[in-house]
Structure 1
């Protein structure tokens, strides 16, 4: 009822659900009367407009970095967004490619809601969005949002992301205090070591850093967790929400020295963000 009231007053609705409000006669009628719009973000384009994998990704010369994780709802999108912003603030032209509905709702120019697609087109749609970002922005680096976890029994999207974007590197988001998978309380969390090994075995990609989700941790415990990860894996680690964004940038520049040279030569930050329209989000 709230959303119908909003439509009647001319308020646009951006719907991230799998149920499409644009197919509901009552919602459609209300939007026509008021002139408001309904955008079903998860609605795939017609089959004839979707892409299968083509190999065009091999023409993309900008390095791709995938932000993956050990579980769903663990902070991959937040980390990917903060990393993209921090790289731009350091003078590098970074662009984010989203793979879920939330990034698209938040105004991302490049992205696809993978979990709403027929699997045959998932890899190709990721590839197509990365190619579009490369051709449209001429970026120094492309950040690709992860979904779920490669080890997760319910979500296959990480596999499509790795195959479609062909990243040169990955950053892994992990919640040290999470004991079981968020949506499956009977399934233990994978270890950080097992997830890194799986990612590197599945795809020709190197894990270049670890980001910490600090749920259930005190400030001191966050620092201890970061130190322990760096010592065990010999990788840089940080908490994107409680540590300075420079730590995220340094993680990337350490792995890609040529980007460090470009950043030091740049005098003004690059900007790739886009204005967002006010809307009601489901």
Structure 2
């Protein structure tokens, strides 16, 4: 029996399509767990969410508020998702009221903040009164269920690829999701390990929200997620979603990913037009070269390909930068949202012969099936 997705309305007031709205953007682009029926952002009301992200029209409307959404939707959605990821990680008084109102309508609450709604007495009473559930995505596992590094990662004998970046909210997760889907369409058994709240909300079976963990367990939890993926899924390749950046002074997440997953290769995402680190207007962006050197100096991993975010860039500018990067760094470079994942798949095939053989085999089988049809 096919898995029935729950319907969901995503709250992203004033932030849809912006850096702090990355959770909402990710869910609108891809979700295996929810059918997104609308987004709340009064500044963009009446528009199509897909078009607003620069993608194709996807029929997901943007509403001015919760009342408008419930008036226009045919049914009350199953879930109300808090789709913002602000640095302060706390809801405002107005947002509290909206969450309570959503509960009163019978909607489960999906929360990606560090502020755990299930431990809020008022939210807990309202949830109990209306018989709804609160799911705190960033709530870490209980101590007894946490893992420290064990060395079992050495058993993993399929390619593990980390999709890292030079900054926060620069498209790492989007690239990982797009590549995962593209590999699956080729008949490759690719599994993505999520490392943040958005990937987990999208329905990733394996992973953990790294920034919710005590540092003692970060590396072990990433290792365990990769090992569990390998043992349970028999994949052809494992993709590990990146967080932040190795060289970012405010976060340690990508370092934990490099240590815990011990990747066989890295795909590095970069926003060329970004001058300062997001949420830190006094911190200049690093050069792509410095981040590559840092990654390759502190790990045994090699950057196999570069992916760019076309944020604040025209198509012409993006293509010029891609050509410059390929010439200078001598690695395949692409913008997956505009040009797809062909270059990435070719790079993976060149570096991992067993994967290339599987891609060719699956391609040949498809050709034969078409010929027989």
Do Structure 1 and Structure 2 share a fold, with TM-score over 0.5?
A: yes
Question: Residue in 2 aligned with 1:29?
Answer: 125
How far has the Cα of 1:167 moved from its partner?
0.2
Find out whether 1:6 has 2:102 as its counterpart: yes
Q: Number of paired residues?
A: 268
Moved more, 207-216 or 180-189: 180-189
How far has the Cα of 1:8 moved from its partner?
2.0
Which protein shows a greater Rg?
A: 2
How far has the Cα of 1:46 moved from its partner?
1.4
TM-score normalised by structure 1 residue count: 0.93
* DSSP 3-state at the match of 1:19: coil
Q: Name the CA distance, whole Å, in 2 between partners of 1:8 and 1:181.
A: 39
Question: Residue in 1 aligned with 2:146?
Answer: 50
Aligned residue runs from structure 1 range 120-159, under 5 A = 120-159=216-255
Q: Name the CA distance, whole Å, in 1 between partners of 2:141 and 2:341.
A: 36
How far has the Cα of 1:251 moved from its partner?
2.5
Question: Residue in 1 aligned with 2:361?
Answer: 265
Q: Name the CA distance, whole Å, in 2 between partners of 1:211 and 1:251.
A: 12
Question: Residue in 2 aligned with 1:172?
Answer: 268
Aligned residue runs from structure 1 range 67-82, under 5 A = 67-82=163-178
* Contact residue 93 and residue 139 of structure 1 kept, 8 A: yes
Q: Name the CA distance, whole Å, in 1 between partners of 2:301 and 2:340.
A: 26
Q: Name the CA distance, whole Å, in 1 between partners of 2:320 and 2:186.
A: 28
How far has the Cα of 1:239 moved from its partner?
0.2
Q: Name the CA distance, whole Å, in 1 between partners of 2:176 and 2:247.
A: 20
* DSSP 3-state at the match of 1:242: helix
Which 5+ residue runs of structure 2 have no aligned equivalent? 1-96, 367-373
* DSSP 3-state at the match of 1:17: coil
Counterpart selection for 1:95 from 191, 216, 219: 191
Q: Deviations over 1:146-188 (max 9, x none)?
A: 0000000001011100000000000100111111111211111
Aligned residue runs from structure 1 range 194-233, under 5 A = 194-233=290-329
* Contact residue 168 and residue 206 of structure 1 kept, 8 A: yes
Higher relative contact order by CA 8 Å / sep ≥ 6: 1 or 2? 1
* DSSP 3-state at the match of 1:241: helix
Superposed CA RMSD in Å reads: 1.1
Q: Deviations over 1:45-84 (max 9, x none)?
A: 1112100000111111111000011111100000011011
* Contact residue 210 and residue 235 of structure 1 kept, 8 A: yes
Q: Name the CA distance, whole Å, in 1 between partners of 2:200 and 2:187.
A: 24
* DSSP 3-state at the match of 1:186: coil
Q: Deviations over 1:93-140 (max 9, x none)?
A: 000001111100111111101101100000000001111111121100
* Contact residue 209 and residue 235 of structure 1 kept, 8 A: yes
* DSSP 3-state at the match of 2:336: coil
* Contact residue 15 and residue 21 of structure 1 kept, 8 A: yes
Q: Name the CA distance, whole Å, in 2 between partners of 1:3 and 1:13.
A: 8
* DSSP 3-state at the match of 1:209: strand
* Contact residue 86 and residue 248 of structure 1 kept, 8 A: no
Q: Name the CA distance, whole Å, in 1 between partners of 2:244 and 2:200.
A: 17
Q: Deviations over 1:236-263 (max 9, x none)?
A: 0000111033223223222222211111
Q: Name the CA distance, whole Å, in 2 between partners of 1:165 and 1:96.
A: 12
TM-score normalised by structure 2 residue count: 0.70
Which 5+ residue runs of structure 1 have no aligned equivalent? 269-282
Question: Residue in 2 aligned with 1:111?
Answer: 207
